[in-house]
Amino acid sequence: GAVVSQHPSRVICKSGTSVKIECRSLDFQATTMFWYRQFPKQSLMLMATSNEGSKATYEQGVEKDKFLINHASLTLSTLTVTSAHPEDSSFYICSAGLGVLGQGIYGYTFGSGTRLTVV
Amino acid sequence: DAKTTQPPSMDCAEGRAANLPCNHSTISGNEYVYWYRQIHSQGPQYIIHGLKNNETNEMASLIITEDRKSSTLILPHATLRDTAVYYCIVLNSGGSNYKLTFGKGTLLTVNP
pLDDT higher than 60, residue A3: yes
Distance between CA atoms of residues B34 and B32, nearest Å: 6
Inter-chain Cβ pairs, chain A and chain B, closer than 8 A = 51
Res. A102: pLDDT tops 80: no
Structure-model confidence comparison of residues B43 and A52, the more confident one: B43
| Amino acid, single-letter form, for residue B52 | K
pLDDT, tens only, B39-48: 998 999 999 9
Mean pLDDT of B79-89: 97
pLDDT band at A2 (very low <50, low <70, confident <90, very high): confident
pLDDT of A13 above 70:
yes
Give the nearest chain A residue to B31 (CA atoms).
A106
Higher pLDDT, A100 or B52: B52
Chain A contact set for B98 (CB, 8 A):
32, 97, 101, 105
The pLDDT tens digits of the residues spanning A55-81 come to 899 999 999 999 999 988 889 999 999
Using the predicted structure, report yes or no on whether residue A105 has a pLDDT greater than 70: no
CB within 8 Å: B43 and A95: yes
Average pLDDT over chain B, rounded to whole?
92
* Cβ contact B44–A44 (<8 Å): yes
Contacts of A6 in chain B (CB under 8 A): 43
Residue partners of B35: CB distance under 8 A and separation at least 6: B22, B46, B47, B48, B49, B60, B62, B73, B86, B87, B88, B89
Q: Is the pLDDT of residue B9 over 70?
A: yes
Residue B43: which of A43, A107, A110 has the nearest Cβ? A110
Q: Give the pLDDT confidence score for residue B11 in this predicted structure.
A: 97
Q: Predicted confidence band at B2 (pLDDT cuts at 50, 70, 90)? A: low
Contact B42 A108 (CB under 8 A): no
Question: Percent of chain B having pLDDT more than 90?
Answer: 79
Q: At CB < 8 Å, which residues of chain B contact A?
A: 38, 41-46, 49, 87, 93-94, 98-105
Alpha-carbon gap: B49 to the closest alpha carbon of chain A (Å): 9
How many CA atoms within 13 Å lie on the side-chain side of B48? 21
The one-letter amino acid code at A95 reads: S
Residue B96: pLDDT over 60: no
CA-based angle B74:B2:B67, to the nearest 5? 60
Distance from CA of B13 to the nearest CA of A (A): 24
**Cβ contact (<8 Å) for B105 and A43?**
yes
* Position B36 confidence tier, pLDDT thresholds 50, 70, 90: very high
Give A-chain residues touching B87 at CB under 8 angstroms.
Answer: 43
Residue A41 C-alpha, separation from nearest chain B C-alpha, in angstroms = 9
